[in-house]
Amino acid sequence: MPSSPTRAEQRAASARRILDAARAEFAAHGYESTTIRAVAARAGVDPALVMQHHGSKAALFRSAARLDAVTSEEVGSHLDDVVASRVAGLPPELHALVRSMLTVPEATDAMREYLDDRVANLARSTPGPDAELRAALTVCAILGLTLGRHFLRLGALEQGSAEDVSRVARAWLAARSEDAEPPEDRPED
């Protein structure tokens, strides 16, 4: 006879359902249009439970937008995975974060923290001068790819197959990472 879930297991399951529902709601409707009531309804819980777990809509958004960290040892292979995943589609939490990052201060802060972490991880594994600056430019290029393909729907990025866009993006990023030294400034003629 299977045992009933413990109170802690029930609470953890409710918390997961709330975060999954919040990610879906923020992705579909953005920060401004998502309500605690809508998140609660999607999760199948009372709105008071959402507030009990998170305290505010802003705190719920921060939790829902939190993305998994990557260690510095994983950064090299991670870039290829990131390019492929950004071309293929966006997980709900990233979609919500990107969608709201320019209009919602909480989203701006969450995105800055996330990208600063990505830059720091990449810079630790990047040899040569200006490692942090080059890492920031790489992260910005991937953000631009994400915006261009999924939000702006730029023709070449939208029409290209996922395989082709990923292949070209990976080659472009690899070429940039090999340029440890920027080209010498040439004097004006």
pLDDT at 187: 47
pLDDT at 186: 42
The strand ranges marked E within 89-160 are none
82 and 68 Cβ atoms separated by less than 8 Å: no
pLDDT at 62: 77
31 and 96 Cβ atoms separated by less than 8 Å: yes
Whole-angstrom Cα distance, residue 68 to residue 170? 21
CATH architecture entry for 7-65: Orthogonal Bundle (1.10)
Residue ranges of the domains in the chain? 7-65, 72-178
- Domains 7-65 and 72-178 belong to one CATH topology: no
The number of beta carbons lying within 10 Å of the beta carbon of residue 40 is 21
> What CATH class is the domain 72-178?
mainly alpha
Whole-angstrom Cα distance, residue 166 to residue 162? 6
Whole-angstrom Cα distance, residue 15 to residue 136? 34
Q: Provide the sign of the torsion angle of the four alpha carbons 85, 137, 121, 124, taken in this order.
A: positive
Do you know the residue count of the chain? 189
pLDDT tens for the chain, residues 1 to 189:
667 888 888 888 888 999 889 888 887 887 888 899 999 999 999 999 999 988 888 888 878 776 555 555 565 566 777 787 788 887 777 777 788 888 888 888 888 888 888 888 888 877 778 889 988 998 899 899 988 998 889 999 989 999 999 999 888 887 766 554 555 544 454
The number of beta carbons lying within 10 Å of the beta carbon of residue 152 is 12
pTM of the shown model: 0.62
